[in-house]
């Protein structure tokens, strides 16, 4: 079995009330707070795993609000390899200045959204 090409993983969860969810994940579950970006707050769930809570724009949380984000410094290389294996990207890797990231999106066979991403914020943990 070969080594996985990803260094970290982030599961984004859309929440109706960011403050109440922050209290639950931080205080209720005891997850360490990492940082905030725009309308999302990040918590560490393991050495290389994170959950990002993102405020719903409608004020309602929906089951489809979860995005599996796989973090790597080599977004272009990972995406190129997936495309070679027949994966269709929703969009090619590109910079997103609003969130200070470089990323691409694709969907699994069930339509679940997957993001391949590199955080470009210096405070993002890279201790893997």
Tell me if 45 is assigned to some domain.
yes
Q: What pLDDT digit, counting tens, does each position of 86-103 carry?
A: 888 999 999 999 999 999
Residues whose CB falls within 8 Å of the CB of residue 18, separated by 6 or more in sequence, listed in order = 39, 41, 53, 54, 55
Instruction: List the one residue out of 95, 83, 90 whose CA is nearest residue 120.
Output: 95
Instruction: Look at residue 127 and tell me if it is in a domain.
Output: no
pLDDT at position 42 over 70? yes
For residues 126 and 37, which has the higher predicted lDDT (pLDDT)?
37
Domain encompassing residue 114: 8-119
Check if the beta carbon of residue 118 is closer than 8 Å to that of residue 75: yes
Choose the weakest-confidence range: 2-16, 32-46, 85-99: 2-16
Listed in sequence order, the residues at least 6 apart from 45 whose beta carbon sits closer than 8 Å to its beta carbon are 11, 31, 51
| Residue 117: predicted pLDDT | 93
Average the pLDDT over 43-48 and give the result. Answer: 90
Count how many domains the chain has: 1
The pLDDT of residue 96 is 94
Upper half-sphere CA count for residue 58 (Cβ side, 13 Å): 5
CATH number at residue 95: 3.10.180.10
| Neighbour tally for 31: CB within 10 Å | 19
Mean pLDDT throughout 116-127? 84
Report if residue 1 sits inside a domain.
no
């Amino acid at each position: 079995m070969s080594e996985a090409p990803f260094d970290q993983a982030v599961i984004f969860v859309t929440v109706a009330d960011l403050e109440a969810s922050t209290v639950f994940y931080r205080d209720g579950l005891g997850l360490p707070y990492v940082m905030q970006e725009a309308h999302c707050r990040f918590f560490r769930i393991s050495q290389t795993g994170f959950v990002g809570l993102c405020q719903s724009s409608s004020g309602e949380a929906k089951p489809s609000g979860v995005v599996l984000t796989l973090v790597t410094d080599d977004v272009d290389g990972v995406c190129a390899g997936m495309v070679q294996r027949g994966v269709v990207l929703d969009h090619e890797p590109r910079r997103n200045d609003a969130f200070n990231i470089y990323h691409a999106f694709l969907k699994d066979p069930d339509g679940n959204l997957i993001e391949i991403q590199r955080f470009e914020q210096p405070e993002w943990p890279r201790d893997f």
